[in-house]
Structure 1
């Protein structure tokens, strides 16, 4: 059974980074929470992680969650009226300026969302900021720490 621990950690890391970078927390933390919950629920393979990447290019905050279920691409579908789940991507669709998914190196996929943000001032903590975090979706390791082999990526254009 998947655990929401990694998803909670992704939301907390997002809050910390956005605060450090001087960017508004909402709606970014809700978007990350939904993307990470989907990765922990639908994109999880036992013993595998999902990756959270946050970066700003020009006036756009990009949030990416990468998991190891590349063959399971996300799609918008209305949930059943009495269903307790199935609304995550509808929330992302409503809050994000843009969102999508792409297949990566086998077996990965990345689900991403973008938000327009106020431009950071040169020299501010967020000017050219990037963050890359590998989060374990199980309780085996501390999901709050970056994976030793993960390296922050340079900001890239979507």
Structure 2
């Protein structure tokens, strides 16, 4: 049975670190540490930053969901601006932002987005190696 954790944060930049801390805590509780945990936390930060930056709905909340099923981990970040879909951007060298989805594309095994009835959800999927889980049984 998959393990799932969901939490919400207010749509404001100051809450992005809170989301990252929550993701790290959930991953640690599941025994996902080291490089895989760092990568998921980094991409969660990027996706949450995109949600709080680009969502045009006032007083919105951003929903973060992590699902672990066997060796597959799925990160989902949803916001209520369902018609403003993410797109890869090729930023100029002097632009401060615009590289988040390129990082997601480079570091996740797969990623995409979907429109829900009242939200859009951007997701990233990771396949964890057995050594990524600290609670994995030791080989005999």
TM range, smaller chain = 0.7 to 0.9
Residue 21 of structure 2 is matched in structure 1 by 12
After TM superposition, list the pairs within 5 Å mapping 1:111-126 onto structure 2: 111-118=122-129
**Which runs of at least 4 in structure 1 moved beyond 2 Å after TM superposition?**
none
> Do the aligned residues in 2 keep the contact of 1:40 with 1:50 (CA within 8 Å)?
yes
1:76 aligns with 2:77: no
After TM superposition, list the pairs within 5 Å mapping 1:79-94 onto structure 2: 79-94=91-106
Measured on the aligned residues, the alpha-carbon RMSD in Å equals: 1.7
Structure with the bigger percentage of helix:
2
> Do the aligned residues in 2 keep the contact of 1:58 with 1:119 (CA within 8 Å)?
no
Name the TM-score, length of structure 1 as normaliser.
0.70
Distance 1:44 1:52, change over 3 A: farther
Residue 105 of structure 1 is matched in structure 2 by 117
* 1:96-121 deviations in Å (ceiling 9; x for gaps): 11000000013x1000001111459x
Q: Matches of 1:5 and 1:112 in 2, distance apart?
A: 22
Q: Matches of 1:58 and 1:22 in 2, distance apart?
A: 12
Q: Which runs of 5+ in 2 are unaligned?
A: 1-10, 136-140
Name the TM-score, length of structure 2 as normaliser.
0.79
* 1:77-112 deviations in Å (ceiling 9; x for gaps): 211221001111011111111000000013x10000
Residue 149 of structure 1 is matched in structure 2 by none
After TM superposition, list the pairs within 5 Å mapping 1:136-155 onto structure 2: none
Q: Matches of 2:127 and 2:111 in 1, distance apart?
A: 12
